[in-house]
Amino acid sequence: MDTMPPDLTGLRNEYAAHGLRRADLHSDPLQQFGAWFAAALAADIRDVNAMSLATATPDGKPSARIVLLKGFDERGFAFFTNYESEKGRQLEANPYAALVFYWVQLERQVRISGAVERTSREDSAAYFHSRPVGSRLGAWASRQSEVVDARQVLDARLTEMSERFEDGNVTLPPHWGGYRVKPDKFEFWQGRPNRLHDRFRYSRRADGAWQIDRLAP
């Protein structure tokens, strides 16, 4: 018997956290993000650095997936991946992306968008060599986003790479490295009762300063 889809109309939670006022915001969105990220860390949220990464093809077909933030500073927001993956190919053809963080326990969301550039090979190597050996071998073993006939193909590739790098010196693959999103827009969202949430957008002006606007929820 076919399984009937569940009724989702009644699935909702009321947001009861304190609000977000213009006076609460730092003039620099990076500093504001840092404060919220620190609060999320203190709340012991699992995968606190998980973020939705949205990319698009040159003709505007979007795709999104969860990746892990691995650093943020005045240069932008960094993550690492296989350059030959779907997202890598899309970013090479259309170097612009959007990020979303959602910390449900804090009833907070942050949206970030901007142009994308590759990190330096030095930065990519530094992060790569900080990873566990298994993760480094996996970067060599997986031809990310390609069709795989069976799980055994991946297992065989991992065995092959383990033998290739049996001395433990797993080098940085030429097809693997980092990207950095350079924000030109931030949005900070705080859940509020009655779905009248607080939203503030930071937009980069032509002179490089940030303009802050409250948005309707």
Model confidence over 71-101: pLDDT tens digits? 999 999 999 999 999 999 999 999 999 999 9
Q: Which of 21, 75, 195, 214 is catalytic?
A: 195
- Pairing state between β 210-215 and 198-204: antiparallel
Q: What is the pLDDT of residues 33-65, one digit of tens each?
A: 999 999 999 999 999 999 999 999 999 999 999
Residues 106 and 157 in one domain: no
Residues 158 and 189 in one domain: no
Please state the pTM of the whole predicted model: 0.92
Residues 89 and 142 in one domain: no
Tell me if 6 is assigned to some domain: no
Residues 151 and 205 in one domain: no
Which residues form the domain of 49? Answer: 22-129+173-215
Q: How far apart are CA 25 and CA 179, in angstroms?
A: 28
195 catalytic? Reply is yes
Total domains in the chain come to: 2
What residue type is 175 in one-letter code?
H
